[in-house]
Amino acid sequence: MKLLFVFFTVFISVTHLSYGQFLIPGEGIMDVKIGADRDEIEWELGFKGIKINKENISPELDFIAQQAVIDFDFAVSYQHIMWLPVSTLLFKDGKVCFVELNSYPEYNQMLCADIGTTEGLNFWNEREVANRIYGNNDEVKYHEKSFLFYPKKGLGVELLENEVRTMFIFPAQMK
């Protein structure tokens, strides 16, 4: 009976620990971290992704990088079904300097349901929750999209209908 109790306790503990995936602003999520090199990321995600030269990235991604105060050399886009909803990484000097996670593809919606920041911001939270956790910030508009950036934390979010749908991780700005 004691053995069964120990097994059950360990099972519940392991299950509970693996349930949530925490995004750490300014650092990364799981082994997809700021400062990792491309080989480490490919190993972690299981895919190479598509390299995009800086001059060929979308104007929207360039805008987001500017808001996050990120200088980068190239981007890598991931359009695969993976275990993390990573969609884009930016690299500077061969190291990750920006991670984008989004909930738009249907498969990513399932993955994002269990992801949140260490401070408690989750996908589909409303704008007010982000501002309550990270400090009141004004929305930044780009065409029809709305964004919130928290440079001192190393976190940005894209809002759709007032809900967090994309999260951006980048190095925290000290100023």
Q: For the chain, give every domain's residue range.
A: 2-169
Type and span of the H or E element at 42: helix 38-45
> What per-residue confidence (pLDDT) applies to 47?
84
Stretch 83-109: mean pLDDT: 92
pLDDT at residue 128 above 90? Answer: yes
C-alpha angle 111/162/145, rounded to 5°?
Answer: 90
C-alpha angle 103/105/137, rounded to 5°?
Answer: 25
On whether the CB atoms of residues 107 and 134 are closer than 8 A, the answer is: no
Q: What is the mean pLDDT of the chain?
A: 87
Stretch 118-135: mean pLDDT: 96
pLDDT (tens digit per residue) in 138-162: 999 999 899 999 999 999 999 999 9
Residue 36 CA to its chain's centroid (Å)? 14
